[in-house]
């Protein structure tokens, strides 16, 4: 009985220690969460194939799975520590202390937490957790009232002990809950929200004209030409969205440059006068998938800042590094060959949403996100492909990630039923930074028929298309393919997303009544 209760006390004390640490971090300088830092450290130490497997299996729920496992693991350890220290009191402070040292180390290694904040916050958690556990164990040990031994050696537990144990456990668990809620509230209210809503985007010196009317087709269910920020897909390894304090944020230009320097966020805001329409695409997008979106980005040409830094001869890779240590790397040419390649601070007329990289991110046209579009950008390092592998490369993905020509049927939906007669078959098509020159449809494996293209918003964005299909009754198969700017049609070969992007034709089945 005492052992089970000691275990419960251990779980409660561990939770209280964590809650104390997180709440202290919320009020101390820095914007990070220790829980997140430990999660990131765990992801960092996990072999690549396992990370890829987890992302494949759990999708965006993979963070929740990791978080829950961490919670279960730490509570379990807390329970064991508590049980062991019923007899040997020194085990609790030593056990919690070791936890604290590991946590402080993970926090100090994390870019969003200062070392002093990590040490203070974990120390606070250890003291509170150990004290709470000691108190409950004292109650369990009988406190002042000693139980009466019976003839056969068992002990009758005084009613008072049970009540005091229950009282303390509930009170401590309640405090942990209140602390967690407070910490959460403070962290959410911190940096991002406040700073983001007070961020003033300068009006671009040369604003782009509104998208031409002819670039948007009037078809129900087609992807809008520009994706609203709320609907924009999100892909990253971040355990929770990094909160960056924009008032102190800087981006460092390092590595193979003549004049390393840092640019502050305020300076970036002043410089940000370039608008670019760019479609972002994830290399993990399946044929017909929705990990793709288009936005009007506001930012600073990367080339301008690189010229200030002076790129050294021999550097062939630009690596973007985020506040949480993620990296993406792409060829130096991409910054200088004239394609949109910017450090973006605005997305569709707003400061970057936190989930899309506030306060600043890279947007490089023509390349998949995993090599180029670093969010929560903190550093641009000039290096070589020989010297450095960015995050996904050792995990089995290609070092180079040009976007492959692709097309998607948005309407009708796969397996839809439609009425015989003229049916609007429509969708979007995209390629690398040079755009799309044609889209064709094949019905029931018949010859390729040209679709009508909407006007091009930019060569660096997807393009809408429509095919007016004279549908006859029966079941039909529709297939789409795009042709790039150089006249190369999209390949029919089917390949999976890994290592450098899925290929094949998006194909749907439709029944016509
Ligand atoms: N810091 C950071 N930036 C990142 C990533 C990441 O994991 N961490 N993922 C990249 C990938 S794989 C893609 S597809 C794009 C997605 O950008 P979005 O979430 O704004 O759509 O961000 C890129 N930038
Ligand atoms: Mo991606």
State pLDDT tens for residues 66-87: 878 888 899 999 999 999 998 8
How many residues does this entry show for the chain? Answer: 513
Calculated CA dihedral for residues 254, 256, 258, 260, nearest 10 degrees: 0
58 or 512, which is more confident: 512
DSSP 3-state percent helix, strand, coil across the chain (nearest 5) = 35, 25, 40
Sequence-distant (≥ 6) Cβ neighbours of residue 466 within 8 angstroms: 217, 219, 222, 424, 425, 426, 451, 452, 454
Confidence check: pLDDT of 252 > 50: yes
Strand partners, 408: 428
CA angle 317, 322, 326 (to 5 degrees): 75
Q: What is the largest CA-CA distance in the chain?
A: 95
CA angle 419, 425, 429 (to 5 degrees): 165
The answer to whether the CB of 370 is under 6 A from ligand 1 is yes
Report the number of secondary-structure helices (H) and strands (E) in the chain.
Answer: 12, 21
Q: Are strands 416-418 and 507-512 parallel, antiparallel or unpaired?
A: parallel
Which structure tokens are listed for 320? 């973007």
The answer to whether the CB of 329 is under 6 A from ligand 1 is no
Going by pLDDT thresholds of 50, 70 and 90, the confidence category of residue 209 is: very high
Q: Whose CA is nearest to atom 15 of ligand 1?
A: 369
Task: Give yes or no for a cis peptide into 28 (omega within 30° of 0).
Answer: no
The answer to whether the beta carbons of residues 195 and 353 sit under 8 Å apart is no
All structural domains of the chain, each given as residue ranges with its CATH number in brackets, are 2-195 (no CATH), 213-395 (3.90.420.10), 406-512 (2.60.40.650)
Q: Whose CA is nearest to atom 6 of ligand 1?
A: 236
**pLDDT score, position 7:** 93
Q: Where are the alpha helices (DSSP H) in 189-272?
A: 194-198, 265-271
Ligand nearest the Cα of residue 392 is 1
- Judged by average pLDDT, the poorest of 182-186, 338-342, 460-464 is 182-186
User: How many A from CA of 373 to the centre of ligand 1?
Assistant: 6
Q: How far is residue 30 CA from its own chain's centroid?
A: 20
Strand partners, 295: 278
Q: What is the pLDDT of residues 301-350, one digit of tens each?
A: 999 999 999 999 999 999 999 998 899 999 999 999 999 999 999 999 99
Q: Which of 485, 291, 458, 457 is nearest to 369 (CA)?
A: 291
The answer to whether the beta carbons of residues 369 and 235 sit under 8 Å apart is yes
CA distance 383 to 319: 7
Going by pLDDT thresholds of 50, 70 and 90, the confidence category of residue 150 is: low
φ/ψ of 512, rounded to 5, equals -110, 125
**pLDDT score, position 360:** 97
Q: Whose CA is nearest to atom 19 of ligand 1?
A: 234
Torsion over CA: 408, 413, 416, 421 (sign): negative
The answer to whether the CB of 62 is under 6 A from ligand 1 is no
User: How many A from CA of 361 to the centre of ligand 2?
Assistant: 14
Kindly report the average pLDDT of the chain as a whole number: 90
User: How many A from CA of 377 to the centre of ligand 1?
Assistant: 11
CA angle 493, 429, 272 (to 5 degrees): 125
473 or 110, which is more confident: 473
Ligand nearest the Cα of residue 362 is 1
Q: Whose CA is nearest to atom 7 of ligand 1?
A: 236
Which structure tokens are listed for 140? 């369990």
Calculated CA dihedral for residues 18, 22, 28, 29, nearest 10 degrees: 120
CA distance 172 to 355: 34
The answer to whether the CB of 326 is under 6 A from ligand 1 is yes
The answer to whether the CB of 282 is under 6 A from ligand 1 is yes
Q: Whose CA is nearest to atom 12 of ligand 1?
A: 370
**pLDDT score, position 192:** 59
User: How many A from CA of 282 to the centre of ligand 2?
Assistant: 4
Strand partners, 443: 478
The helix/strand/coil state of 242 is coil
The answer to whether the CB of 435 is under 6 A from ligand 1 is no
The answer to whether the CB of 339 is under 6 A from ligand 1 is no
Going by pLDDT thresholds of 50, 70 and 90, the confidence category of residue 3 is: confident
Going by pLDDT thresholds of 50, 70 and 90, the confidence category of residue 191 is: very low
Ligand nearest the Cα of residue 284 is 2
User: How many A from CA of 370 to the centre of ligand 2?
Assistant: 5
Q: Is 372 exposed, middle or buried (0-12, 13-18, 19+ CB in 10 A)?
A: buried
Strand partners, 163: none
Going by pLDDT thresholds of 50, 70 and 90, the confidence category of residue 433 is: very high
- Judged by average pLDDT, the poorest of 46-55, 260-269, 291-300, 327-336 is 46-55
Q: Which of 302, 289, 311, 223 is nearest to 263 (CA)?
A: 302
Q: Whose CA is nearest to atom 13 of ligand 1?
A: 369
The answer to whether the beta carbons of residues 266 and 195 sit under 8 Å apart is no
Task: Write the DSSP symbol of residue 334.
Answer: H
pTM: 0.76
Q: Whose CA is nearest to atom 9 of ligand 1?
A: 236
Q: Which of 175, 75, 98, 94 is nearest to 134 (CA)?
A: 94
Mean local confidence (pLDDT), 30-54: 74
**pLDDT score, position 156:** 57
């Amino acid at each position: 009985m005492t052992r089970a209760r000691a275990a419960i006390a251990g779980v409660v004390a561990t939770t209280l220690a964590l809650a104390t640490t997180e709440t202290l971090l919320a009020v101390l300088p820095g914007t990070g969460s220790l829980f997140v830092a430990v999660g990131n450290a765990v992801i960092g130490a996990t072999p690549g194939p396992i990370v890829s497997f987890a992302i494949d299996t759990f999708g965006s729920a993979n963070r929740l799975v990791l978080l829950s496992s961490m919670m279960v693991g730490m509570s379990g350890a807390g329970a064991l520590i508590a049980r062991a220290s019923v007899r040997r009191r020194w085990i609790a402070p030593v056990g919690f202390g070791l936890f604290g040292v590991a946590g402080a180390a993970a926090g100090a290694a994390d870019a969003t937490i200062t070392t002093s904040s990590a040490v203070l916050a974990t120390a606070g958690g250890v003291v509170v957790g150990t004290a709470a556990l000691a108190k409950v164990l004292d109650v369990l040990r009988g406190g002042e009232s000693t139980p009466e031994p019976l003839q056969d050696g068992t002990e009758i537990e005084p009613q008072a002990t049970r009540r005091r144990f229950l009282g303390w456990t509930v009170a401590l668990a309640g405090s942990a809950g209140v602390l967690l809620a407070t910490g959460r509230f403070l962290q959410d209210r911190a940096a991002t929200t406040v700073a983001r809503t007070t961020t003033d985007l300068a009006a671009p010196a040369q604003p782009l004209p509104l998208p031409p009317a002819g670039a948007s087709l009037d078809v129900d269910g087609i992807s809008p030409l520009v994706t609203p920020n709320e609907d924009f897909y999100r892909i990253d390894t971040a355990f929770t969205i990094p909160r960056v304090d924009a008032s102190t944020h800087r981006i460092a230009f390092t590595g193979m440059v003549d004049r390393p320097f840092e640019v502050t966020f305020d300076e970036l805001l002043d410089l940000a006068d370039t608008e670019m329409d760019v479609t972002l695409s994830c290399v993990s997008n399946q044929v017909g998938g929705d990990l793709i979106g288009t936005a009007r980005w506001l930012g600073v040409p990367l080339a301008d800042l690189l010229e200030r830094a002076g790129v050294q001869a021999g550097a062939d890779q630009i690596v973007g590094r985020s506040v949480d240590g993620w990296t993406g790397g792409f060829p130096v040419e991409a910054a200088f060959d004239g394609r949109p390649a910017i450090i973006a601070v605005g997305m569709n007329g707003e400061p970057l949403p936190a989930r899309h990289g506030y306060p600043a991110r890279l947007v490089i046209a023509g390349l998949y996100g995993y090599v180029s579009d670093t969010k929560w950008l903190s550093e641009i390092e000039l290096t070589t492909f020989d010297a450095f592998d960015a995050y996904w490369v050792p995990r089995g993905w290609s070092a180079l990630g040009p976007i492959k020509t692709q097309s998607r049927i948005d309407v009708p939906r796969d397996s839809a039923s439609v009425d015989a007669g003229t049916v609007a078959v429509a969708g979007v098509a995209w390629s690398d930074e040079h755009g799309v020159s044609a889209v064709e449809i094949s019905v029931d494996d018949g010859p390729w028929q040209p679709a009508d293209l909407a006007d091009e918003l930019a060569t660096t964005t997807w393009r809408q298309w429509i095919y007016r299909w004279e549908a006859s009754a029966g079941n039909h198969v529709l297939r789409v393919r795009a042709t790039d700017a150089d006249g190369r049609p999209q390949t029919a070969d089917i390949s999976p997303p890994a290592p450098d992007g899925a290929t094949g034709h998006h194909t749907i089945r439709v029944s016509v009544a």
